[in-house]
Amino acid sequence: MDKIFYITKEKLQELKKEYDELVTFEHNKTVGEEAPKIFESEDINPEFLSFQEDMSFLRSRIGELKNIFEHYELIKNPPKSDQAVVNLGAKVKIDVDGEKDEFVIVGTLEANPALGKISNESPVGKALLGHKIGDEITVSSPIKTKYKIKSIKYEVG
Amino acid sequence: MDKVIKFFIEVGKLKTMPRRGWVIREVKDPESIAEHTFRVAIMAWVLAEKKDKKLKLEKLLKMALVHDLCEVYAGDITPYDSILPKDKKKRRELLKTWPRFTEKEKKRLAESKFKKEKAGLEKLIRNLPPRLKHEVMALWLDYENGQSPEGRFFKHADRLESFLQAAEYWKGNKNVPQKPYWIQARELHDDPVILEFINQIDKEFHNKIKPKE
C-alpha cells in the first residue's frame, strides 16, 4: 500500500505552486524558451532550477510531487469536542524533564525538529497522540525522559 | 584545472577538522568531519537497501559526500553553541541534555545556521564547472530541506551515524553523555528502518551496562 502523506493546507499550496512552476519551466526548457521571470523569485529553489543541464533532477522532483498529490491527506482541525487531545496539527506546550519546549505534530513531509515540528511517526510524536493536558508520558529506551503536556492548541487552517 | 586543485585542497581540510560535538564533550582525539562523512555514506547505502521503496543510490551517495562540505568555511555548528557556558562544570551539566529553545529562538538559530552554511558552500564551489556547482548545491539544499525521499532519508542517516559514534565513545568512556542522543533519537527519527537500527544499537551496546545520563 502506498504511504499517505499528512500535510497542512499551507504545505499543499506551497507544493502545488512549486509543481506548477517546475512543469512550466520544464515545458519552456523543452521548447527552448527562456525561463520566465518567476523563476528568479526567492520562493523556489533557484539553484535547483539553474541546474539546467540535467533535466533528470527536475523530472524526478516533478515525479515526487505527483506522488504526493496522489497520496496526501490534509491535516484539519479536529472538531471542538476533540481539541482537548493531541492529534495531527496540534501545537503542544510541553515540559521535558523540567525544561519547557513546544512541538507541532506534523506528518513526515513537514517534520523539522530544528523548528519544533515533530513527526507523528517518531516515537515521541506517536506517544503524544491521543493524550490531553496534564498527561505525562515517559519515553524510556534506555534513558527515561518525561514529557508533560501543558497546553494543546490547533492553529491549522 | 588549478581551480579544481584548489577545491580538492580545501575539501581535504575536512580530514583534519574535528567534529565540534565531540570537542565540546571533551572526547580525546575525536573523529574528523571527513571520517564522519565516510561512514555515513556507507551507512546510508547499506540501510537504504532495507527500504521497501527503493531510493536512488547515486543521488544518496553524492548527497552523503557533499552534505558537510560547507563546514570547510562555515565550521561545524552545534545546537549548543549559542548557550555554551565557559565554565567547564556548567558546560558538562548543559551537555547532559538536549537544549530547549523557544519557537522564536529555534527559527533564528535555524536561519542563521542555514545562511552561514549556504554561504560557506557557495564560497567553496564557486570555481567548479557550472554543472557540478549546481548539482552540489541542489543536493545540499535537498538534504537541508528534506525535499526528496533521498534527502529525508539521508538526514536520518546523518544523525544516526553521530548516534552510533556517541555509543562507541560511551563504550570507551562512560562520561560521554548519552541522553541528548537518545532524546534526539526519539524525537527526530521517524523512518522505520532507522528506528529499527536504533533498537539494534541499544541491544548491542547496552546489554550489560545501561547509560545513566
Residues 11-40 of A with CB under 8 A from B: none
Same-domain status, A99 and A56: no
Q: CB distance A45–B179 less than 8 Å?
A: no
Q: Does A88 touch chain B (CB under 8 A)?
A: no
Does one domain contain both A15 and A56?
yes
The answer to whether residue B107 neighbours chain A at the CB level (below 8 Å) is: yes
Under a CB-based contact definition with an 8 Å cutoff, are residues A111 and A122 in contact?
A: yes
Give tens-digit pLDDT for B112-163: 999 999 999 999 999 999 889 989 999 999 999 998 999 999 999 999 999 9
Instruction: Show which of A49, A74, A99 is a domain's final residue.
Output: A74
Let me know whether A22 and A61 are in one domain: yes
Superfamily of domain B2-206: Hypothetical protein af1432 (1.10.3210.10)
Q: Do B186 and A112 touch (CB under 8 A)?
A: no
For residue A38, pLDDT beyond 50: no
Residue of B nearest to A51 (CA): B134
User: Given B138, B184, B195, which is nearest A48 (Cβ)?
Assistant: B138
Of A64, A100, A124, the CB nearest to B186: A124
3-state secondary structure B95-111: CCCCCCCCHHHHHHHHH
In the predicted structure, residue A42 carries a pLDDT above the cut 50: no
Count the domains in chain A: 2
pLDDT at A54: 61
- Chain A CB contacts of B202 under 8 Å are 141-142
**Domain span holding position A99:** 80-154
Asked if the model's pLDDT at residue A40 lies above 50, the reply is: no
Q: Is B110 on the interface with A (CB under 8 A)?
A: yes
> What CATH number is associated with residue A116?
3.10.50.30
Give the residue from A21, A51, A74 where a domain finishes: A74
* Judgement on whether residues A19 and A67 belong to the same structural domain of the protein: yes
| A contacts of B176 (beta carbons < 8 Å) | none
Q: Does A45 share its domain with A62?
A: yes
Taking the Cβ of residue B116 and every Cβ of chain A, the question of whether any pair is shorter than 8 Å is answered with no
Residue of A nearest to B56 (CA): A60
Q: What is the mean pLDDT of residues A96-124?
A: 94
Number of alpha carbons in the 13 Å side-chain half-sphere of residue A21:
20
Which chain B residues are Cβ-neighbours of A99 within 8 angstroms? 97, 100
Parallel, antiparallel, or unpaired for β A117-119 and A136-140? unpaired
C-alpha cell read off for B19:
567534529
Whole-complex ipTM = 0.90
Dump pLDDT digits (tens) for B20-79: 999 999 999 999 999 999 999 999 999 999 998 789 999 999 999 999 999 999 999 999
On the question of pLDDT at A52 being above 70, the answer is no
The amino acid that residue B35 corresponds to is E
* Contacts B54 to A, Cβ<8 Å: none
Total-model pTM: 0.90
| Phi, psi angles (nearest 5°) of residue A95 | -115, 115
Mean pLDDT of B168-189: 94
Choose among B107, B182, B202: nearest Cβ to A115: B107
Residue A56 has a CB neighbour count (10 Å cut-off) of 11
Q: Which of B52, B94, B134 to mutate to test the interface with A (most CBs of A within 10 A)?
A: B134
Beta-carbon count within 10 A of B129 CB: 12
* In chain B, where the domains are located: 2-206
B75 is written with which cell numbers? 565550521
Neighbours of B52 (CB within 10 A): 7
Chain B 27-56, residues with CB within 8 Å of chain A CB atoms? 53, 56
Which of B79, B100, B137 minimises the CB distance to A96? B100
**Angle, alpha carbons A123-A127-A129 (nearest 5°):** 125
Contact assignment for A142 to B97 by CB distance below 8 Å = no
Residues A117 and A150 in one domain: yes
